Amino acid sequence: MEKLLQAKPVAAEDQPLYAPRVKVYPKAIHGPVRRAKWLILALCLAAYYVVPWLRWNRGPGAPDQAVLVDMTHGRLYFFFIEIWPQEVYYLTGLLILGAIGLFMATSLFGRVWCGFTCPQTVWTDLFMLVERWIQGDRNARMKLDAQPWGPRKLALKAATHGAWVVIAAATGGAWIMYFQDAPTVTWDLLIGAATAKTYFFFGLFTLTTYLFAGWAREQLCTYMCPWPRFQAAMLDENSLVVSYREWRGEPRGKARAKDAGDCIDCGECFHVCPTGVDIREGTQLSCIGCGLCIDACDDVMRKLHRPEGLIGFETATNLAASATAAAPCAPGPKRLAAGMAVRHVPRLIRARTLVYAGVLVAGIMGVSFLLRSTLTLAVLRDRAPIFVRLADGGLRNAYTLKLANKLREHQDYALVLEAPAGLTLAVQDTAQDAAGRPLVATRGDGITEWRALVTSAAGLRLPESVPVRFRLLDAEGHVVTSAESVFLGPRP
Ligand code: SF4
Ligand code: SF4
């Protein structure tokens, strides 16, 4: 301390250009914001790791992975949507819509994306949780780092980094699964049969996850991410951001000090902060808006039997109005009452949020219009008779297919039946393609009807009701549309 007092101020031109990193040791905290963050973290991670394993039946010859970027064949599959390379503008449109949604959320609630759902925040939170489980909370970790290297420190650090590498590998592996069939590539990776390119990208994504969430952490948000730099353009005086109510907290002082505000300078708010920010110094670039300082300060206020909310989500308008109303009162309940009395409900409907909402709605309508199907298939099963028994003992169901073609030109499609083995399809008065599949023609700008017959082989034993699906394939064999029905027979 004496040294600090004797230290001479450093002239601006003598200041070093590079300031070494001050390591942040966030403390564990419990409270409603922390619980919300855990819930969002669990949902985001579950979605990320589980989605590649979801299956989606697209018929013969097509991959059955629900979400897949098939680089080899130039296709992007998202459940029932299939995007071709020449349709990549859909993706561009979706990314633009996502950006506008983010602008709107920022203008309403500040950096909610950064604080709750950004992958960097989610994985850093997970890595910090593991670190806390193994090495202990803030004080224990600070003590451990200050200790010389020994067997205990080595074991704890090795366990932490080992766990981080496992999570990073699972994350890198899951990323690969969005580009290749998940079960196949997982098995190939495990037995060493994957391609060199697959191993390269697996290693790359594992390494970046480990470095970003384990080492870089808040440095990535503060120095590498461009978002904090231009998000200020979306904020205004009515945006809800994490704020310290200075009019209530200042002047800081001990809990029982006379004429002191509500802030007792305990430091809990920045001890829990994942980026090491002291929110009492105002809104800062490094503050990701995670709201953990709200939980920490509310905890302190409860222990002091004072109202919560010294730090909270607040608008600049309300902060200014409260400060003006509270100024004439001395610190205490009267000042608190005066400051809180003038608070207004934040205005959600403002010129900028209306513009963002308008662009968003117009964009969603535009994408829906572009994605609308130009061909629909309706299948009507004959009700009388429900089925016909043939001379050889087989059964036959008849269906009317209605094809509505919204294009001007006529189109031909191959019709295939997806049904248990032993059921065969025939379409009346139509030709067949080279593969022997019935070809159904649709006239342009109208509805065309076809009669389809599905027959079961003689002696085939089936339940009373069997689900079947009719699919229309284009000349390249891609499913254009499909419709479900049932094949009915007698009760077994
Ligand atoms: S946690 Fe609350 S009381 Fe403690 S220093 Fe922060 S603002 Fe002040
Ligand atoms: S100051 Fe508060 S809201 Fe901002 S990053 Fe730190 S804990 Fe989160």
Q: Give pLDDT tens digits for 269-325.
A: 999 999 999 999 988 888 999 999 999 999 999 999 999 999 999 999 999 999 999
Q: What is the pLDDT, as a whole number, of residue 371?
A: 67
Tell me, in angstroms, the distance from the centre of ligand 2 to residue 391's CA.
Answer: 79
Backbone φ and ψ of 286, nearest 5°: -75, -15
CATH code for the domain defined by 375-488: 2.60.40.10
Pocket test for ligand 1, best of 245, 262, 297, 301 (most atoms within 8 A of CB): 297
Q: Are 401 and 377 in contact (CB under 8 A)?
A: yes
Arithmetic mean of pLDDT, 395-407: 90
Question: Is residue 296 within 6 Å of ligand 1 at its C-beta?
Answer: yes
Q: Select from 264, 272, 302 the residue to mutate for testing ligand 1; criterion: most ligand atoms less than 8 Å from CB.
A: 264
SS3 8: coil
Give the per-residue pLDDT at 362.
82
Protein residue with least CA distance to atom 2, ligand 2: 293
Q: What are phi and psi of 203, to 5 degrees?
A: -65, -40
Tell whether the model's pLDDT for residue 149 goes beyond 70.
Answer: yes
Q: Is the pLDDT of residue 469 over 60?
A: yes
The number of the ligand nearest the C-alpha atom of 116 reads 2
Task: Among 277, 281, 314, say which to mutate for ligand 2: greatest number of ligand atoms within 8 Å of CB.
Answer: 277
Secondary structure class of 182 (helix, strand, coil): helix
Least confident of 42-56, 129-143, 144-158, 253-267: 253-267
**How remote is the CA of residue 352 from the centroid of ligand 1, in Å?**
34
From 300, 304, 306, the mutation candidate for ligand 1 (largest count of ligand atoms within 8 A of CB) is 300
Residue, of 444 and 64, whose pLDDT is higher: 64
Collapse the DSSP code of 431 into the 3-class scheme (helix H, G, I; strand E, B; otherwise coil) and give the result: coil
263 in contact with ligand 1, CB cutoff 6 A: yes
Please report how the helices 196-209 and 151-177 are oriented relative to each other, as an axis angle in degrees rounded to 10: 130
Average pLDDT of 453-479?
A: 90
What is the crossing angle of helices 32-50 and 151-177, to 10°?
A: 50
**Exposure of 281 in the CB half-sphere (CA atoms within 13 A):** 9
d(CA 134, CA 122): 19
The number of residues in the chain equals 492
Q: Integer distance in angstroms from the first to the last C-alpha of the chain?
A: 92
CA dihedral over 394, 400, 406, 411, signed as positive or negative = positive
Dihedral Cα 309, 313, 314, 319, nearest 10 deg: 40
CA 1 to ligand 1 centroid distance, Å: 23
According to the model, what pLDDT value does residue 4 have? 37
Task: Scan for tokens 């897949």, then name that residue.
Answer: 68
Instruction: Give the nearest ligand 2 atom to 311 CA.
Output: 2
Q: How far apart are CA 26 and CA 269, in angstroms?
A: 10
Element (H, E) at 242: strand 241-244
Residue 314 three-state SS: strand
> What is residue 14's predicted lDDT score, i.e. its pLDDT?
64
68 Cβ inside 6 Å of ligand 2: no
Per-residue pLDDT, 296: 97
pLDDT of residue 95: 86
Average pLDDT rounded to a whole number, residues 401-416: 86
Better-scored residue on pLDDT, 480 or 246: 246
Mean pLDDT of all residues in 87-106: 83
Statement: residue 210 has pLDDT above 70 = yes
60 has a pLDDT exceeding 70: no
For the cut 50, the answer to whether the pLDDT of residue 85 exceeds it is yes
Question: Which residues, including other chains, have CB under 8 Å from residue 103's CB and lie 6 or more apart?
Answer: 234, 356
Other Cβ atoms within 10 Å of 360 Cβ, number: 17
Q: Which has the higher per-residue pLDDT, 11 or 293? A: 293
Closest CA to 466 of 399, 419, 413, 396: 419
**Mean pLDDT, the chain, as a whole number?**
89
pLDDT of 274 = 95
How much is the pTM? 0.75
Residue 150 has pLDDT above 90, yes or no: yes
Give the integer Cα–Cα distance in Å for 150 and 349. 59
CA 54: distance to chain centroid?
A: 16
- What pLDDT score was predicted for residue 9? 44
The rounded distance, in Å, linking the Cα atoms of 375 and 440 is: 13
pLDDT band at 32 (very low <50, low <70, confident <90, very high): very high
**% of the chain surpassing 90 pLDDT:** 59
110's torsion region: left (phi>0), alpha (psi -120 to 50) or beta?
A: left
- Cα(131) to ligand 1 centroid in Å equals 25
266 lines ligand 1 (CB under 6 A): yes
What pLDDT does residue 249 have? Answer: 93
Backbone φ, ψ for residue 133 (5° rounding)? -60, -40
The least confident of 128-142, 161-175, 355-369, 432-446 is 355-369
pLDDT in tens, 322-360: 999 999 988 888 999 998 888 777 787 888 888 888 888
Pick from 142, 191, 116: nearest CA to 24: 142
Please check the confidence at residue 143 and state whether its pLDDT lies above 90: yes
**Could you tell me the distance, in angstroms and rounded to a whole number, from the CA of residue 109 to the centre of ligand 1?**
22
Ligand nearest to the CA of 279: 2
Q: Does the C-beta of 269 come closer than 6 Å to ligand 1?
A: yes
**267 within ligand 1 shell (Cβ under 6 A):** yes
Least Cα distance to 273 among 7, 14, 29, 15 occurs for 29
Residue 141: predicted pLDDT: 97
**pLDDT in the model for residue 26:** 96
Pick the residue whose CA is nearest to atom 3 on ligand 1: 263
Ligand whose nearest atom lies closest to the CA of 277: 2
Q: Which of 155-164, 178-187, 204-213, 427-436 bottoms out in mean pLDDT, i.e. has the lowest?
A: 427-436
Residues with Cβ within 8 Å of residue 8, at least 6 apart in sequence: none
Q: Are 52 and 178 in contact (CB under 8 A)?
A: yes
Pocket test for ligand 1, best of 266, 273, 311 (most atoms within 8 A of CB): 266
Domain range annotation of the chain: 33-226, 231-341, 375-488
Burial 304-321 (b: 16+ CB within 10 A, else e): eebeebbbbbbbbbbbeb
The letter for the amino acid at 130 is V
Percent helix, strand and coil across the chain, each rounded to 5?
45, 20, 35
Q: Is the CB of 297 under 6 A from ligand 2?
A: no
pLDDT for 5? 39
Min mean pLDDT across 77-86, 165-174, 300-309, 430-439 is at: 77-86
- Residue 255 CA: which ligand is closest? 1
How confident is the model at residue 344, as a pLDDT? 78
Residue bearing the CA closest to ligand 1, atom 6 = 269
pLDDT at 7: 41
- pLDDT surpassing 90 at residue 373: no
Say what the pLDDT of residue 479 is. Answer: 83
CA of 126 to the centre of ligand 2 (A): 17
Ligand 1 close to Cβ of residue 278 (< 6 A): no
Closest CA to 380 of 439, 444, 452, 428: 452
Strand 395-405 to 67-70 pairing? unpaired
Residue 154: burial class (beta carbons within 10 Å; 0-12, 13-18, 19+)? exposed
